[in-house]
């Protein structure tokens, strides 16, 4: 009987140690006392969250390789330093050079003609902030946390919209704001598409798992990507 209450006793203490707004907490090898205050759904959600951010980090590296001028515009000494700044600093997904815009507001900057800053930073940090908002800005989940399956579903649709913009948005001279997939030539490079697909799949699957577990209904909103607007991920 006492063992049932142990997680509840330590839950406020453990939850108070969690930072918010940055990348998800890496799993601890060996015994992790935090695990006593987690449900199976919490662990599944954390696993999906880690996969999403692993793909985002890989996409940042790939975008910087195809668009090296962007990390140089940001004043970083190297590609690696530019990626580390996005994923290893405790910034809460708000950057001064992005006017402290977060989420989809930051993504819009990446495709604005008059934006002179690092477009990869705007795009990737915007996605990171948007996804974290859908996870209630938690880097670790506990029994008291309640994810909204609608927010996760909307986040997946927003990634689809962002990918469409990345592939189609162009400057007046016809050049893309950011280079990504390469469909021309003898060998097609669709590796960006695969990573984005993983992110969308993880968010959609987690949305379904939580909806089924909590008996909640998700409104399946699908839009024409060419004219779509970003959906809310915070209610």
pLDDT tens digits, one per residue of 49-81: 999 999 999 999 999 999 999 999 989 999 999
The answer to whether residues 178 and 67 touch, using CB atoms and an 8 Å cutoff, is yes
Is position 5 within any domain?
no
- For residue 38, pLDDT over 70 is answered with yes
- For residue 175, pLDDT over 60 is answered with yes
Is position 14 within any domain?
no
Q: How many domains does the chain have?
A: 1
- pTM of the full structure: 0.88
Is position 77 within any domain?
yes
In the predicted model, what is the mean pLDDT of the chain?
A: 87
227: left (phi over 0), alpha (psi -120 to 50) or beta: alpha
Beta bridge partners of residue 176, listed in sequence order: 170
Is position 53 within any domain?
yes
Is position 32 within any domain?
no
Place of tokens 């909103």: 221
Q: What is the mean pLDDT of residues 21-42?
A: 71
Buried b (16+ CB within 10 A) or exposed e, 5-22: eebeeebeebbeeeeebb
Is position 219 within any domain?
no
For 91-138, the pLDDT digits (tens) are 999 999 999 999 999 999 999 999 999 999 999 999 999 999 999 999
**Can you give the residue range of the structural domain that contains 178?**
40-214
Place of tokens 């695990």: 35
Q: What is the mean pLDDT of residues 218-222?
A: 89
- For residue 18, pLDDT over 60 is answered with no
Beta bridge partners of residue 170, listed in sequence order: 176
Is position 60 within any domain?
yes
């Amino acid at each position: 009987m006492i063992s049932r209450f142990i997680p509840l006793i330590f839950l406020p203490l453990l939850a108070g140690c969690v930072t918010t707004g940055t990348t998800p907490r890496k799993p601890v090898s060996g015994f992790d006392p935090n695990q006593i205050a987690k449900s199976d759904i919490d662990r599944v959600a954390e696993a999906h969250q880690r996969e999403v951010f692993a793909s985002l980090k890989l996409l940042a590296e790939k975008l910087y390789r195809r668009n090296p001028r962007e990390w140089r515009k940001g004043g970083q000494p190297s590609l690696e330093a530019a990626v580390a700044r996005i994923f290893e600093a405790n910034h809460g997904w708000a950057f001064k050079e992005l006017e402290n815009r977060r989420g989809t507001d930051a993504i819009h900057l990446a495709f604005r003609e008059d934006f002179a800053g690092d477009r990869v930073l705007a795009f990737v940090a915007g996605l990171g902030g948007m996804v974290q908002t859908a996870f209630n800005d938690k880097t670790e989940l506990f029994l008291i946390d309640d994810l909204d399956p609608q927010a996760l579903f909307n986040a997946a649709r927003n990634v689809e919209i962002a990918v469409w913009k990345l592939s189609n948005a162009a400057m007046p001279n016809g050049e893309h704001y950011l280079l990504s997939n390469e469909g021309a030539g003898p060998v097609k490079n669709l590796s960006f598409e695969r990573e984005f697909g993983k992110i969308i799949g993880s968010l959609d699957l987690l949305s379904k798992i939580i909806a089924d577990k909590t008996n909640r209904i998700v409104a399946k909103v699908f839009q024409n990507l060419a004219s779509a607007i970003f959906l809310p991920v915070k209610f």
